[in-house]
């Protein structure tokens, strides 16, 4: 316990973006606490949560910012994006409109943050395959065109949730270390 070199540790800010009700808050609570809620209210008002992982024997902390519902009014402020090194742009695979919004969220990210922000397009609710309105092919094409990472997740059944966050965090680490 006494040989830990704190100077070796890292703290990265990562922001969640995307339309209302795509599952941002549940992705975060699934990742940080392994919890899922059918009711949104539980997570409203939380600014950010911190989760650590180990990379190369170092503690790498991600401070993950969640909106408190202001995305409904497109009123996410520049302070939200300030200093972000990673971003997850989330849409709901069962609601096409939220996928179309992803491009607008990407434009907003590019206005307010550094060009080097590691950005992942996240198609959430992949458990709702029977209601799918956005194909994997289409989302992959958008991700390639815009140089984004892409993954489908389910906060409900946990599919790829860790992978989504950890890919972004590892990529940031690779850039700064």
Q: Which is nearer to Mg ion, 46 or 55 (CB)?
A: 46
Minimal distance, residue 155 CB to ligand GDP, in Å: 4
Residues from 54 through 83 that contact ligand GDP (CB under 6 A): none
User: Would you state the structure tokens that stand for residue 41, as one six-digit string?
Assistant: 């209210």
Nearest to 159 by CA among 45, 23, 6, 61: 23
Of 156, 162, 166, 171, the one binding ligand GDP (CB under 6 A) is 156
The interface partner of residue 135, options being ligand GDP, Mg ion, none and the CB cut-off 5 to 8 Å by kind, is: none
Q: Does residue 23 belong to the site contacting ligand GDP (CB under 6 A)?
A: yes
The interface partner of residue 86, options being ligand GDP, Mg ion, none and the CB cut-off 5 to 8 Å by kind, is: none
Q: Which is nearer to ligand GDP, 21 or 53 (CB)?
A: 21
Q: Does residue 160 belong to the site contacting ligand GDP (CB under 6 A)?
A: no
Give the three-class secondary structure for 161: helix
Q: Does residue 128 belong to the site contacting ligand GDP (CB under 6 A)?
A: yes
The interface partner of residue 101, options being ligand GDP, Mg ion, none and the CB cut-off 5 to 8 Å by kind, is: none
Q: Which is nearer to ligand GDP, 123 or 173 (CB)?
A: 123
Q: Could you tell me the CA-to-CA distances from 8 to 32, 62, 86 in Å, in that order?
A: 22, 15, 20
Q: Which is nearer to ligand GDP, 20 or 166 (CB)?
A: 20
Q: Which is nearer to Mg ion, 24 or 95 (CB)?
A: 24
Query: Residue 121 is inside which H or E element, if any?
Result: strand 118-124
Report d(CA 123, CA 135) in Å as an integer: 10
Report d(CA 40, CA 142) in Å as an integer: 29
Query: Which residues, other chains included, contact 106 with Cβ-Cβ below 8 Å and sequence gap of 6+?
Result: 89, 119, 146, 148
Nearest to 122 by CA among 84, 155, 97, 78: 155
């Amino acid at each position: 316990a006494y040989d830990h070199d704190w100077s070796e540790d890292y703290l990265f800010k990562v922001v969640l973006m995307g339309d209302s009700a795509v599952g941002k808050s549940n992705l975060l609570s699934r990742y940080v606490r392994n919890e899922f809620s059918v009711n949104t209210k539980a997570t409203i008002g939380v600014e950010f949560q911190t989760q650590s992982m180990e990379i190369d024997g170092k503690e790498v902390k991600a401070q993950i910012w969640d909106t408190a519902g202001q995305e409904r009014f497109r009123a996410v402020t520049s302070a939200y994006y300030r200093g972000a090194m990673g971003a997850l742009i989330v849409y709901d695979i069962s609601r096409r409109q939220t996928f179309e919004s992803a491009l607008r969220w990407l434009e907003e990210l590019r206005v307010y943050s550094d060009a080097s922000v590691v950005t992942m397009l996240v198609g959430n609710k992949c458990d709702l395959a029977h209601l799918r309105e956005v194909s994997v092919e289409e989302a992959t094409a958008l991700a390639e065109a815009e140089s984004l990472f892409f993954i489908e997740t389910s906060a409900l059944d946990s599919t790829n949730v860790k992978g989504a966050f950890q890919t972004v965090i590892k990529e940031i680490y690779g850039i700064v270390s």
